[in-house]
């Protein structure tokens, strides 16, 4: 039995969503979850309103089976993708589906908006329409070809996804850092070309990084809570989280969720008041993530200078 993400995700907004199989293996069924998350990016806010999600036949583009919403009605599921970094929002939960294989999943976005930092300071809000103000007062245009028509194709794992009997989950990663860009020319608009990829959620794991203060080490007014831990994968994609001490036991922690199995490099970023520091084990260190398990790496701050 796989561990379901909704058991430990802080955010679990659920909408029932049936999936159909493209290959008929008889009446046997499995149960499916579809979860939305976001890869880290530099945008301050990126809100999307998902109108529908559907499966499309490979040979006939008009052959659509709607899973959320349909051709005449909209689900209007709103999500701030930046807030979903290292978290999930369930689009589909515990839905019975026929056993088989499907190769294409598409997401229709009714509206979207973006808050972007400006080079001269401040921010600017871009939106698909002037009346959509979920990100604030609209100051620029966000162009989104195919947003509300054919939708965007989700890049599925190689060979598609096979639905089997039992519980399984699909994690949809809407990569903010790759999905929005300034349009070329003098229009001043942004363009949205979503990069959405999916992995089998039961194949992912977690990494727990801890840091404690060594005996006799002083941070001169700073705190371990001002340290960030950075995790970098083999593809050079990195993510940073602040360390926190939720139970006030002096051990500061950061948990990275939904990681693909593999080896990751671990580093720490100190607050500006700390000019140099040492840890045991020394950084950079490595941690190996295994599917459906939590890997833990414990550090002690052995020295610091300000």
Instruction: Label residue 167 by pLDDT band (50, 70, 90).
Output: low
Are residues 34 and 181 located together in one domain of the fold?
yes
**Identity of the highest mean pLDDT range in 196-205, 235-244, 268-277:** 268-277
pTM: 0.64
Are residues 99 and 13 located together in one domain of the fold?
yes
The three-point CA angle 69-15-13 to 5° equals 135
Least confident of 9-18, 128-137, 204-213, 287-296: 9-18
pLDDT of 283 > 80? The answer is: yes
Are residues 170 and 103 located together in one domain of the fold?
yes
Closest by alpha carbon to 297, among 274, 283, 306?
283
Both tokens of 269, joined, read: 């970023």
Number of domains present in the structure of the chain: 2
When pLDDT is averaged across residues 259-281 and rounded to a whole number, the result is: 94
Are residues 153 and 216 located together in one domain of the fold?
no
Closest by alpha carbon to 274, among 211, 197, 232?
211
Per the structure, the complete domain to which residue 151 belongs is given by 5-202
Are residues 240 and 187 located together in one domain of the fold?
no
Domain boundary (167, 202, 237) is at 202
Strand 161-163 versus strand 140-143 pairing type: unpaired
Are residues 224 and 294 located together in one domain of the fold?
yes
Cβ-contact 207, 287 below 8 angstroms? yes
Are residues 151 and 298 located together in one domain of the fold?
no
Are residues 58 and 184 located together in one domain of the fold?
yes
Domain boundary (169, 202, 235) is at 202
Least confident of 84-98, 148-162, 216-230, 269-283: 84-98
| pLDDT higher at 190 or 103 | 190
Domain boundary (202, 221, 244) is at 202
Are residues 148 and 168 located together in one domain of the fold?
yes
Are residues 171 and 242 located together in one domain of the fold?
no
Are residues 250 and 169 located together in one domain of the fold?
no
What is the reported pLDDT for 17?
33
The CATH number for 293's domain is: 2.60.40.10
Are residues 180 and 222 located together in one domain of the fold?
no
What is the reported pLDDT for 1?
20
């Amino acid at each position: 039995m796989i561990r379901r993400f909704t058991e430990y995700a802080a955010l679990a907004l659920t909408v029932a969503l049936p999936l159909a199989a493209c290959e008929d293996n008889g009446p046997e069924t499995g149960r499916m979850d579809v979860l939305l998350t976001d890869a880290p990016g530099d945008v301050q806010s990126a809100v999307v309103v998902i109108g529908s999600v559907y499966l499309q036949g490979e040979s006939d583009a008009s052959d659509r089976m709607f899973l959320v919403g349909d051709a005449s009605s909209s689900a209007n599921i709103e999500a701030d993708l930046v807030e979903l970094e290292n978290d999930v929002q369930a689009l589909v939960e515990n839905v019975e589906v026929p056993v088989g294989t499907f190769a294409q999943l598409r997401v229709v976005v009714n509206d979207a908006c973006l808050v972007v930092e400006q080079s001269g300071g401040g921010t600017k809000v871009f939106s698909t329409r002037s009346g959509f103000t979920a990100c604030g007062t609209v100051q620029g245009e966000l162009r989104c070809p195919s947003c509300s028509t054919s939708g965007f194709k989700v890049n599925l794992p190689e060979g598609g996804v096979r639905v089997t009997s039992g519980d399984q989950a699909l994690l949809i990663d809407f990569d903010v850092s790759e999905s929005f860009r300034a349009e070329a020319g003098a229009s001043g608009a942004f363009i949205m070309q979503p990069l959405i990829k999916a992995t089998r959620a039961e194949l992912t794991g977690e990494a727990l990084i801890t840091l404690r203060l060594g005996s006799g080490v002083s941070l001169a007014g700073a705190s371990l809570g001002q340290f960030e831990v950075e995790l970098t994968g083999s593809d050079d994609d990195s993510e940073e989280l602040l360390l926190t001490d939720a139970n006030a036991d002096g051990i500061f922690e950061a948990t990275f969720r939904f990681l693909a199995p593999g080896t990751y490099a671990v580093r720490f970023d100190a607050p500006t008041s700390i000019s140099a520091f040492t840890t045991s084990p020394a950084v950079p260190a490595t941690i190996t993530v295994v599917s459906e398990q939590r890997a833990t790496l414990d550090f002690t701050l052995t020295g610091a200078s300000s």
